[in-house]
Amino acid sequence: MRIIGKTLAVATIALGFALTSTSAYASGPDVTGYAFDMGTAAGHATFKTYGDNLYITDDASDGHSVVAIVEQGSQSYYWNRTGKGTTRHVDLDLHENGAVALRVCLADWQGTPAGGIRWNTCGTVKETEA
Protein backbone atom coordinates (compact mmCIF):
# COMPACT_ATOMS: atom_id res chain seq x y z
CA MET A 1 0.00 0.00 0.00
CA ARG A 2 2.91 2.34 0.77
CA ILE A 3 4.32 1.80 -2.75
CA ILE A 4 1.02 2.76 -4.35
CA GLY A 5 0.84 5.89 -2.18
CA LYS A 6 4.40 6.94 -3.08
CA THR A 7 3.78 6.25 -6.77
CA LEU A 8 0.58 8.31 -6.68
CA ALA A 9 2.40 11.18 -4.92
CA VAL A 10 5.22 11.21 -7.49
CA ALA A 11 2.72 11.09 -10.37
CA THR A 12 0.77 14.00 -8.87
CA ILE A 13 3.94 16.10 -8.51
CA ALA A 14 4.99 15.28 -12.09
CA LEU A 15 1.54 16.21 -13.41
CA GLY A 16 1.60 19.47 -11.48
CA PHE A 17 5.03 20.32 -12.93
CA ALA A 18 3.90 19.51 -16.46
CA LEU A 19 0.83 21.70 -16.13
CA THR A 20 2.78 24.70 -14.79
CA SER A 21 5.85 24.47 -17.03
CA THR A 22 5.87 27.08 -19.82
CA SER A 23 8.82 25.82 -21.84
CA ALA A 24 6.73 23.51 -24.02
CA TYR A 25 3.83 25.83 -24.74
CA ALA A 26 3.53 28.26 -27.62
CA SER A 27 2.34 31.79 -27.03
CA GLY A 28 1.68 33.00 -30.56
CA PRO A 29 -0.04 31.79 -33.72
CA ASP A 30 1.78 29.92 -36.49
CA VAL A 31 2.95 32.17 -39.31
CA THR A 32 3.59 31.56 -43.02
CA GLY A 33 5.65 33.80 -45.26
CA TYR A 34 6.03 33.72 -49.03
CA ALA A 35 8.69 34.46 -51.65
CA PHE A 36 7.49 35.87 -54.97
CA ASP A 37 8.86 35.68 -58.49
CA MET A 38 7.14 38.09 -60.87
CA GLY A 39 4.11 38.31 -58.58
CA THR A 40 3.67 34.55 -58.19
CA ALA A 41 4.41 32.69 -54.96
CA ALA A 42 7.50 30.57 -55.70
CA GLY A 43 8.21 29.35 -52.17
CA HIS A 44 6.95 29.57 -48.64
CA ALA A 45 7.93 28.81 -45.06
CA THR A 46 5.80 28.14 -42.01
CA PHE A 47 6.97 28.66 -38.45
CA LYS A 48 4.96 26.57 -35.99
CA THR A 49 5.22 28.09 -32.53
CA TYR A 50 4.38 24.86 -30.71
CA GLY A 51 7.73 23.06 -30.78
CA ASP A 52 9.56 25.82 -32.71
CA ASN A 53 9.36 23.96 -36.03
CA LEU A 54 10.18 25.60 -39.36
CA TYR A 55 9.08 24.13 -42.71
CA ILE A 56 10.58 25.60 -45.91
CA THR A 57 8.91 24.60 -49.19
CA ASP A 58 10.02 25.22 -52.79
CA ASP A 59 6.92 25.72 -54.94
CA ALA A 60 8.43 26.50 -58.36
CA SER A 61 10.74 24.99 -60.97
CA ASP A 62 12.70 28.20 -61.35
CA GLY A 63 16.23 27.06 -60.44
CA HIS A 64 16.26 29.15 -57.23
CA SER A 65 16.47 28.03 -53.63
CA VAL A 66 14.04 29.18 -50.94
CA VAL A 67 15.49 30.86 -47.85
CA ALA A 68 13.69 31.45 -44.57
CA ILE A 69 15.18 34.22 -42.47
CA VAL A 70 14.27 33.83 -38.80
CA GLU A 71 15.01 36.64 -36.40
CA GLN A 72 14.87 36.54 -32.64
CA GLY A 73 17.57 38.95 -31.53
CA SER A 74 19.83 37.88 -34.40
CA GLN A 75 19.12 36.61 -37.89
CA SER A 76 19.50 32.99 -38.97
CA TYR A 77 19.22 31.76 -42.56
CA TYR A 78 17.69 28.37 -43.38
CA TRP A 79 17.91 27.14 -46.97
CA ASN A 80 15.92 24.61 -48.96
CA ARG A 81 18.16 23.85 -51.94
CA THR A 82 16.57 20.55 -52.99
CA GLY A 83 14.11 21.78 -55.64
CA LYS A 84 10.45 22.09 -56.47
CA GLY A 85 7.99 20.15 -54.36
CA THR A 86 10.42 19.57 -51.49
CA THR A 87 10.10 20.73 -47.90
CA ARG A 88 12.95 21.11 -45.44
CA HIS A 89 12.12 20.75 -41.75
CA VAL A 90 14.23 22.56 -39.15
CA ASP A 91 13.69 21.97 -35.42
CA LEU A 92 14.60 25.33 -33.89
CA ASP A 93 15.30 25.95 -30.22
CA LEU A 94 14.18 29.53 -29.65
CA HIS A 95 13.76 31.48 -26.43
CA GLU A 96 10.24 31.22 -25.08
CA ASN A 97 7.95 34.26 -24.93
CA GLY A 98 10.04 36.32 -27.35
CA ALA A 99 9.09 37.95 -30.62
CA VAL A 100 10.03 35.98 -33.75
CA ALA A 101 10.12 37.47 -37.25
CA LEU A 102 9.99 35.36 -40.43
CA ARG A 103 10.87 36.50 -43.95
CA VAL A 104 11.03 34.24 -47.02
CA CYS A 105 13.07 34.90 -50.16
CA LEU A 106 14.42 33.20 -53.27
CA ALA A 107 18.17 32.87 -53.61
CA ASP A 108 21.10 31.42 -55.51
CA TRP A 109 23.72 29.85 -53.21
CA GLN A 110 27.03 31.74 -53.21
CA GLY A 111 28.79 30.05 -50.31
CA THR A 112 27.56 32.19 -47.40
CA PRO A 113 24.25 32.14 -45.50
CA ALA A 114 23.07 35.51 -46.86
CA GLY A 115 24.99 35.43 -50.15
CA GLY A 116 22.87 35.27 -53.26
CA ILE A 117 19.56 36.26 -51.68
CA ARG A 118 17.33 37.93 -54.24
CA TRP A 119 15.96 40.62 -51.91
CA ASN A 120 13.36 41.79 -54.44
CA THR A 121 11.60 38.39 -54.12
CA CYS A 122 11.11 38.54 -50.35
CA GLY A 123 7.60 38.68 -49.00
CA THR A 124 6.59 40.87 -46.09
CA VAL A 125 7.97 40.12 -42.65
CA LYS A 126 5.62 38.02 -40.50
CA GLU A 127 5.83 38.18 -36.70
CA THR A 128 4.68 36.00 -33.83
CA GLU A 129 5.70 35.00 -30.29
CA ALA A 130 7.70 31.83 -29.61
Q: pLDDT tens digits, residue range 102-121?
A: 999 999 999 999 999 999 99
User: What does the alpha-carbon distance between residue 58 and residue 45 come to, in Å, rounded to a whole number?
Assistant: 9
Classify each residue of 31-58 as buried b or exposed e, where b means 16 or more C-beta atoms within 10 Å of its C-beta. bebbbbbeeeebbbbbbbbeebebbbbb
Q: What pLDDT does residue 103 have?
A: 98
Q: What is the DSSP secondary structure assignment for residue 5, as one 8-state letter?
A: H
Yes or no: say if 78 and 66 are a contact pair by the CB < 8 Å rule: no
| Dihedral Cα 119, 120, 126, 130, nearest 10 deg | -20
Model confidence over 39-98: pLDDT tens digits?
999 999 999 999 999 999 999 999 999 999 999 999 999 999 999 999 999 999 898 888
